Amino acid sequence: MDAHITPGSVDGRVRAPPSKSYTHRAILAAGYSDGAIVRSPLVSADTRATARAVEAFGGDVDQANDGSAFVVDGFAGVPDVPADVIDCANSGTTTRLVAGAAALADGGSVLTGDASLRSRPQGPLLEALSDLGARAESTRGNGQAPIVVFGPIPGGEVAIPGDVSSQYVTSLLMAGAATADGIEVSLTTDLKSAPYVDITLDVLDSFGVTAEPIGSETADGASGFRVPCEQRYEPADGEYAVPGDFSSMSYLLAAGAVAADPDGEVVVRGAAESAQGDAAIVEILERMGAEIDWRRSESTIVVRRSELSGVTVDVGDTPDLLPTIATLGAVADGETRIENCEHVRYKETDRVSAMAEELGAMGASVTEEADVLTVHGGESDLQGAVVDGRGDHRLVMALAVAALVAGGETTIRGGEHVDVSFPGFFDALFDLGVSVDLQDR
């Protein structure tokens, strides 16, 4: 699907979608339980993949007719051996999180997905599961899916690098609570994307599961993590409510900062405080000079069009914000330097190169290094162009924000991929007054 976007101003109120990160973890946590209701989930291609995995392990996931909840009948910490291959589609989060569950099953599980997913690294997690007693292999011997995991593991101590994906740690912690011996994870390198492990700890706590960082109060700065054995997943009153998603919210806030009507504002609802590291987008916009007000008691953020200036941002803990920040940098005066971003190359696509190339096609001046992306706003003149979303939901949404202030219409190839994390994205833009024409190719 092609998304044709005409530049123009935005104004109005929209609601952020529920958090994808929290929804993934909540569905799987409910799967580990005897049963639970996950309220206000994100219903998307990625989270449906996690729901399918729970069902493959012997659980059952029913979606309310209005999409307001998933009713999960869990496998009570003892997953069945799947009767078929688990198709994780484009969801790397699903692959990594459920690999730990697969290691609890008394037999073999096969996890695979689309071409993009089959290019992403899983090797360190497979090695960790093997060290814990599983047989965990890449079928092609390259550390990528398809992967095969034979369990069950008893638990134990294991070391894993923290600078490739925090999801490896999440997988081990969630599975560890159901093992006979518990799991203690030691980090061999500093943990990147630490707030995502804080999300995991938050969800585990809500489901009555104890897990703790070692050497720190939070995931940031921890030398490892410990989760005691044979715990039961039991949320209070049998329910868990998912908060709004700051990763997806970042595009709405950026749209307001660069394109709000001069006499209007963009109000984003659903901005409740949580452990999400991507809430840093508010502080980043403030540093760039945006007029933005997070009304925490109301769970809303108000943003107005502002003159932005370039800043330096470290995305070691917030990799999903890189596309948004790069787009803001193309509109801002001066230079925006995005540092510590090499791990952002291992997402749905190499987001560092992809944003450099696609913003460049729109007239932005961008310098790419291995671990740094620099956008020279003062040398950029965004013009409408045909750009490629590369099958990556975050690229599509970031480029849509750039299209709002480009000179002329922009066509974004692959607009359908927003379904991965924000199925209503183009509807939200339309509600804000954007001229969006979606056409099947």
Task: Read off the DSSP letter of residue 210.
Answer: -
Residue 46 has pLDDT above 90, yes or no: yes
Query: Is the pLDDT score of 441 beyond 90?
Result: no
For residue 45, count other CB atoms closer than 10 A to its CB: 17
Q: Please state which CATH number belongs to domain 2-17+244-439.
A: 3.65.10.10
For 51, counting Cβ atoms within 10 Å of its Cβ (0-12 exposed, 13-18 middle, 19+ buried), the class is buried
Ligand-binding site membership of 351 (annotated): yes
- Predicted pLDDT of residue 285: 98
Each domain of the chain, given as residue ranges in start order, spans 2-17+244-439, 20-241
> What's the pLDDT at 194?
94
Give me the percent of the chain exceeding a pLDDT of 90: 97
Q: How far apart are CA 169 and CA 284, in angstroms?
A: 27
- Give the pLDDT score at 348: 87
| pLDDT computed for residue 321 by the predictor | 98
> What is the arithmetic mean of pLDDT over 114-140?
97
pLDDT at residue 74, rounded to an integer: 98
Query: What integer is the mean pLDDT of 153-161?
Result: 98
Single out the residue of 317, 404, 403, 329 nearest to residue 373, CA to CA: 329
Q: 20 a known binding residue? A: yes
407-423 confidence digits (pLDDT tens): 999 999 999 999 989 99
- Across the chain, how many H-helices and E-strands are there? 12, 24
Residue 413 marked ligand-binding: no
114-118, long-range: CB < 8 A, 24+ apart: 114/89, 114/90, 116/90, 116/348, 116/349, 116/391, 116/392, 117/88, 117/89, 117/90, 117/91, 117/92, 117/145, 118/144, 118/145, 118/146
Q: Is 165 annotated as a binding residue?
A: yes
Average pLDDT over residues 127-153: 98
- Identical fold for domains 2-17+244-439 and 20-241, yes or no, is yes
pLDDT in tens, 72-104: 999 999 999 999 999 999 999 999 999 999 999
On the question of pLDDT at 309 being above 90, the answer is yes
Q: Using 50, 70 and 90 to split pLDDT, how confident is the model at 67?
A: confident
In sequence order, the 6+-apart residues with CB closer than 8 A to the CB of 66 are none
DSSP lists the bridge partners of residue 366 as: 375
**Average pLDDT of every residue of the chain:** 96
The predicted-structure confidence for 355-388, as pLDDT tens digits, reads as follows 999 999 999 999 999 999 999 999 999 999 999 9
> What is the per-residue pLDDT for 243?
93
Catalytic residue annotation: 320
pLDDT per residue as tens digits for the range 204-259: 999 999 999 999 999 999 999 999 999 999 999 999 999 999 999 999 999 999 99
* Residue 343: predicted pLDDT: 92
- Residue 10: band (very low, low, confident or very high) from pLDDT cuts 50, 70, 90: very high
Pure H helices in 111-166: 123-131
Higher pLDDT, 66 or 170: 170
- How high is the pLDDT of residue 225? 98
What pLDDT score does 65 carry?
A: 84
pLDDT (0 to 100) of residue 436: 96
Furthest CA-CA distance within the chain? 63
320 is in an annotated binding site: yes
Q: 136: closest CA among 122, 126, 146, 128?
A: 126
Annotated binding-site residue? 394 = yes
CATH code: domain 20-241 is: 3.65.10.10
pLDDT in tens, 18-32: 999 999 999 999 999
pTM of the prediction? Answer: 0.86
Beta bridge partners of 3: 412, 438
The predicted structure's pLDDT at residue 66: 84
Collect all residues with Cβ–Cβ distance below 8 Å to 370 and sequence separation of at least 6. Answer: 342
- Torsion (CA) 262, 384, 278, 171 in degrees, nearest 10: 160
Give the pair of three-digit tokens for residue 197: 């492990």
Q: What is the pLDDT of residues 328-356, one digit of tens each?
A: 999 999 999 999 999 999 898 999 999 99
